[in-house]
Chain A
Amino acid sequence: VDAEAAETYLRVLAETQLRHFRAPGFPNWDGIRELRYVGVALAALGVLDMSVAEDIAAELDAVVQVRVRRSGAGPARPVFSVPPTAPSAPSPAGQVLRLGDGPGAPRLRLLSVTRTRRQTEITVAGRVGRQWTGQGFHHAVRDLSAVDDAGSAFTVQHSGGSSDGLLTLVPSVPAGARWVEIGAPGQHVGLDLVVTALRDAGQLPPDSAAAGLPEPWTSVLGYFSAPRPAGSLGIAPVAIALPEIDGVRFALTGLSTEAEQTTLRVQAWGLPPRLAASPAAFPGLLPWFPWWARDSTGQWHVTADHGSSSHGGRSALTLRMVPPVSRSVTSLELIIAGLVSRLRVTLPLAWQENT
């Protein structure tokens, strides 16, 4: 997928989302979020500049706002807003950088990475042992530097306290960078930004070491370079309760497909209570999602949040499968990665007409 193909794909997807806006059959339309979801993933794969992806999403936002404008309404935010900076959810890093040698030498634990359009920030926590007799912590963090996989160098600015600080890389690390190395005299640690960005997008497929990451992704993205519709309407009456995973029980209650989308209906018990307080933020922010699936033809699919509700400890979720599942598919291998465990479930599909 080259940059032009990726941009074309995202812009055409924006057109599809606009067509679905207020259309029958899309009562829980959330097209801008879905577009950002895909845009971040394309940027993470290095095939599209993040700023282009964000501009396309911001444009769809403004185009939709124009269509909801009515006399007497106040000025529409998106029309004159500066395009948002695509904040990414912080993702765990975990590496430890030693800032000196000897007992109690200062250490900097890299807690998480947050990438935005303008900068890359690393939340850090430092520690200096009582035995340390060298120069102080703030002196040690003055000599940090960074370099990305293209060889571009960055200055690293530390701010905050010794135990609750922030490293800011200046200038911004390019969207296409796949890793960056943070260095101190005598030591360095690497951060895999592709994995980071995919985690940020909530899209990291299970079983994907960094080196093997592209396989499900190339499958999903490859589909869109030569799209094959799912075909006529169909329903597969799956009904299966999955084993518990990290204290949560999921039950699959139905799969339906049409020309441009496939919807998987799910019931869940034991999800965090915040679902009830903020259903709109769910389930994209929860660690069990997205789900990945490989169908009987070898095509990978990833789920996108398409609505949810919660009542009395039970949650009803609607997941959209991207790309849609063809009616020629006879089974799906569903993969759910939890916090500490993982499920693999094979679903035989017996399609029925949906007329």
Chain B
Amino acid sequence: VTGDADGPWWAALPPAETAIPCGRGQHVIGWAAGALTGSSHPDLEAERILSALGGGPPAECVQVTGMWQHLSGDLDVLAFGPRHAADQITVAWDNVEALRADYASRRRGRRRTVATGRTSRGGSYVVRAGPGPPTRQEADVWMRRLELMTLLALGPALQVRLAGTVAAAWSDPGQAAARAAHRPRLAAALTGRLTPAVQTWLGADAGPVTATVHEGDGWGSVERASASAGLRVGLPLDWLARVWACGLAVVDGHLVVAVQAARWPRARVLALPRPGAELVTFTVRAGPQPAQSPLAQAWRRE
């Protein structure tokens, strides 16, 4: 049995949208078919080019879609993003504004000289106080964090879709070397999301979950050495995109290990009823009122 799936990773996700402050009003940012769009702007790309040519600062919607593209392969998204439905991350737009002001202030930072003198070896020294301007490396980290906070402010529906986008990007077969170089971060990203799912599946006494990113053929493995030894789980990284980000991790008492085919609101999944059991395949259907966060999506077995 393999976990090979047809179609894009987001096939089990419905469109989503949110409103953000842009100019003097609120504009709608939409997500559909794996891409972010500024629904209130007829041609975002043209506005971006116009801004780059000196047409003034880009509109917020233009900035946000640019940040989405910029961070769509950034592992910080998985580090900061939600782990499960109850893991609420609420970033308000005034938080984002405050962070931007803080960032701008720190970039203007200056050191002041507080002392000068000579060392015991005869050299001279100067002691300067204050944080000073950031190094280029620090500025890069800060800028990425600022962009990340801006995208988290889009709300839970888009937070999860962004995490799925990042996981899908890192799951590409051409990224095997990059995955090998970041195994600890990827294992943590997988463990942090799989553990709550396992606790939903088996209960709070399931024990520790040791997750590794499965490479190669097949869907992976779920092993339990003894009743109290916890689980050793190997799943391909695209489980985070195709299964977890679509709210399909646990359905009808089964741990879903792969989505074989999907077209929202239906999906055919490969699932385990319990550790060590035979895999089963069944079709699920999303509830009529999809929740704001896909992680709280109510899927039902058909």
Contact = CB atoms under 8 A, between A and B. Distances in A.
B69 interface: no
A28 interface: no
B41 to A, nearest CB: 26
Interface string A11-46: 110111011000000000000000000000000000
Nearest to A230: B228
Interface stretch (A67-75, A89-97, A346-354): A67-75
Interface residues of A, number: 39
A275 B183 CA distance: 42
Interface residues of B, number: 46
B131 A80 contact: no
B188 interface: yes
Contacts of B273: none
Q: Nearest 10 pairs between A and B by C-beta?
A: A71-B92, A11-B188, A15-B192, A75-B102, A7-B184, A8-B184, A229-B207, A231-B228, A158-B120, A75-B98
Interface of A: 4, 7-8, 11-12, 14-16, 18-19, 59, 62-63, 66-67, 69-76, 79-80, 82, 138, 141-142, 157-159, 227-229, 231-232, 259-260
Contacts of A157: 119-121
Contacts of A232: 205, 228
Contact of A259 (B87, B102, B196, B208): B208
Interface string B108-139: 00000000000111000000000100100010
B185 interface: yes
A227 B89 CA distance: 31
B178 to A, nearest CB: 15
Contacts of A70: 90, 92, 95
Given A228-B229, A229-B228, A59 B79 contact: yes
Contacts of A59: 79
Given A18-B192, A259-B207, A67 B79 contact: no
A19 B83 contact: yes
B48 interface: no
A229 B208 contact: yes
Contacts of A158: 119-120
A236 to B, nearest CB: 17
B230 to A, nearest CB: 5
B120 A12 contact: no
A76 B96 CA distance: 10
B281 interface: no
A232 B106 CA distance: 50
17 contacts: A12-B187, A15-B188, A59-B79, A63-B80, A66-B152, A73-B95, A73-B98, A75-B102, A76-B95, A79-B145, A80-B102, A80-B146, A158-B119, A159-B119, A227-B230, A229-B208, A231-B228
